[in-house]
């Protein structure tokens, strides 16, 4: 069935209002105290509308987080893989250290341990696409001769992201730019690359 354009606009307004409301409540109350009822009331939509589009509050906050995360952490290509990875990881660290995104993501990671549907959504909507994008950027660097041909790219991605997730989940202080630079250099050297020597 074709939906009239006005209905599409109303749906997008409702979607955006719901995502914004979820993030606002996460800031005000903390992830654990956010409810679908509260999100609906703040957004000015019905619970039925929310459950038509999402399965849980975790799913709402995951979409809100992912919408911002993807735009805030691009994989640029300046021709220098070390610089580009530092830019990406620093952007990810900044976002996950900022309210409401950090607390929202911490809540999502905690809830997915006992919510299989949310865990699957995190993998499909966030982790899988981000890992694929990181691997694609590393593959481009390999094609440009910045990374050896036999480099294990999937392992390199895990090595890059692992410390970021580790610190976030355990609520340790986030990496500063010097620590991120050291991490990127270590990963590239483990691949047999020489950081800071593009092309």
d(CA 155, CA 94): 23
pLDDT of residue 1: 37
pLDDT single digits (tens) 12-22: 889 999 999 99
Task: Kindly state whether residue 80 falls inside one of the protein's structural domains.
Answer: yes
Of 20, 64, 62, 68, the C-alpha closest to 40 is 20
Tokens matching residue 44:
């000015």
Its domain, for residue 72, covers 56-191
pLDDT single digits (tens) 89-113: 999 999 999 999 999 999 999 999 9
- The total domain count for the chain is 1
- How many Cα neighbours within 13 Å face the side chain of 13? 8
Determine phi and psi for 198, rounding to 5 degrees. -65, 155
On whether the CB atoms of residues 21 and 35 are closer than 8 A, the answer is no
Task: Kindly state whether residue 117 falls inside one of the protein's structural domains.
Answer: yes
CA 23 to chain CA mean position, Å: 15
pLDDT single digits (tens) 150-162: 999 999 999 999 9
Sign of torsion over alpha carbons 78, 167, 28, 114? positive
Number of residues assigned to the chain? 199
pLDDT of residue 4: 39
Strand, helix or coil for residue 152:
coil
Q: Is the pLDDT at 3 greater than 50, yes or no? A: no
Task: Kindly state whether residue 128 falls inside one of the protein's structural domains.
Answer: yes
The CATH number assigned to the domain holding 78 equals 1.10.357.10
Output the CA angle 113-96-12, nearest 5 degrees.
85
Strand, helix or coil for residue 114:
coil
d(CA 199, CA 197): 7
Task: Kindly state whether residue 27 falls inside one of the protein's structural domains.
Answer: no
pTM of the model: 0.86
d(CA 189, CA 127): 24
Task: Kindly state whether residue 166 falls inside one of the protein's structural domains.
Answer: yes
């Amino acid at each position: 069935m074709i939906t009239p354009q006005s209905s599409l606009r109303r749906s997008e307004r409702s979607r955006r209002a719901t995502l914004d409301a979820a993030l606002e409540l996460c800031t005000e109350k903390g992830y654990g105290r956010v409810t679908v009822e509260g999100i609906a009331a703040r957004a000015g939509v019905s619970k039925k509308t929310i459950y038509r589009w999402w399965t849980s509050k975790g799913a709402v906050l995951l979409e809100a987080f992912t919408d911002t995360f993807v735009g805030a952490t691009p994989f640029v290509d300046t021709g220098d893989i070390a610089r580009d990875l530092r830019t990406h990881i620093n952007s990810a660290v900044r976002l996950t250290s900022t309210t409401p995104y950090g607390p929202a993501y911490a809540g999502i990671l905690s809830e997915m341990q006992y919510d299989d549907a949310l865990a699957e959504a995190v993998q499909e909507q966030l982790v899988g696409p981000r890992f694929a994008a990181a691997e694609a950027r590393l593959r481009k660097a390999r094609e440009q001769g910045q990374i050896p041909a036999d480099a294990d790219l999937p392992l390199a991605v895990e090595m890059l992201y692992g410390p970021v997730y580790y610190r976030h989940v355990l609520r340790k202080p986030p990496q500063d730019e010097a620590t991120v630079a050291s991490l990127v250099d270590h990963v590239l050297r483990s691949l047999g690359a020489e950081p800071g020597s593009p092309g």
